[in-house]
A = this chain, B = another copy of it.
Amino acid sequence: MNRNLLLISNSTNAGEEYLLWPREYIACFLNKFGVKKVLFIPYAGVNLDPRSIEKSFDVYEERVRKIFREMGFELNSIHHEANPVIAVNEAESIVVGGGNTFHLALMMQEFGVMEAIRRKIVRGIPFVGWSAGANVACPTMKTTNDMPICEPPSFNCLKVIPFQINPHYLDANPAGHAGETREQRLFEYLAVNRNTTIAGLREGCLFWIEGNIIQLKGKRSLRVFRYGKEPEEFESGSDVSFLLS
């Protein structure tokens, strides 16, 4: 499949500036494809301004625009567009921000943007997504960590990779918490989805995918979950091409 994807676990590491750690990767990735302009999808950011969703998207756009401008890219958000599908069709690159995956998928599906972005990706347009934005690249949103605050028409997503990402994958549990651990939640997923592989993508890590070449980058190892197998760890830079097969 023709695809150029930068799928990022998280925007910001604890204690760091917003979108700091992946900035160099994003710039390098977009520059490789000669990108000047970015179409931003803010639909996951529901409460950056608590007064309304529309204002929240405005705040989100400004926050991300500032970073992208510093990197040399012009960024505009899709929520100003009268026809979002046309905006996607005319875009030279797509960037999907994090937040709530259910709200992101709901709006992408309702506006026809899910299908439109998929068509653009398979034609080779560069796509960048972090957190919820990485989740929507997967076959479904079934490995998101987010709360189901709204009900999308379907859990199906872009399906431009054949495996599921669990972003913000982490080993620690909150002190005194007796609920399910992250690993237990992923085992529950595998119990009812036996044929799918999950990539537990720790914070500060990303996948750089061009066609059938996938590279794992970042400071932490990847934890891979498959039904009936012990989870496996893969260091940054190691061969994870099995994820695309």
Residues of A participating in the B interface, judged by any CB pair closer than 8 Å = 10-14, 46-47, 50, 53, 56, 99-100, 102-103, 131, 140-151, 154-155, 167-168, 170, 172-180, 185-193, 203, 228
Task: Return 17 A-B CB contacts under 8 Å, by A number.
Answer: A46-B191, A47-B190, A56-B191, A100-B185, A100-B188, A141-B148, A144-B148, A146-B185, A146-B188, A147-B185, A147-B189, A149-B192, A150-B192, A168-B177, A168-B179, A172-B177, A177-B203
Given A50-B191, A191-B53, is A145 in contact with B147 using a C-beta cutoff of 8 Å? yes
**Could you say which residues of chain B place their CB within 8 Å of the CB of A151?**
140, 142, 154-155
Would you give the shortest CB distance from A104 to chain B, in whole angstroms?
11
For the complex with contacts A11-B178, A149-B191, A150-B193, 4 further pairs of A-B residues with Cβ separation under 8 Å are: A142-B148, A149-B188, A149-B192, A168-B179
Would you give the shortest CB distance from A98 to chain B, in whole angstroms?
9
- Closest B residue to A103 by beta carbon equals B192
**Could you say which residues of chain B place their CB within 8 Å of the CB of A191?**
46-47, 50, 53, 56, 149
Would you give the shortest CB distance from A141 to chain B, in whole angstroms?
7
- Give Cα A190–Cα B147 distance, bound, in whole angstroms: 11
Say whether B187 contacts A47, CB under 8 Å. Answer: yes
Say whether A50 contacts B228, CB under 8 Å. Answer: yes
- Closest B residue to A106 by beta carbon equals B192
Find the residue from A100, A151, A177 having the highest chain B CB count within 10 A: A177
- Closest B residue to A189 by beta carbon equals B149
**Could you say which residues of chain B place their CB within 8 Å of the CB of A154?**
151
Given A142-B149, A185-B146, A188-B147, is A12 in contact with B174 using a C-beta cutoff of 8 Å? no
Say whether A10 contacts B176, CB under 8 Å. Answer: no
- Give Cα A173–Cα B172 distance, bound, in whole angstroms: 9
Given A188-B149, A192-B103, is A10 in contact with B175 using a C-beta cutoff of 8 Å? no
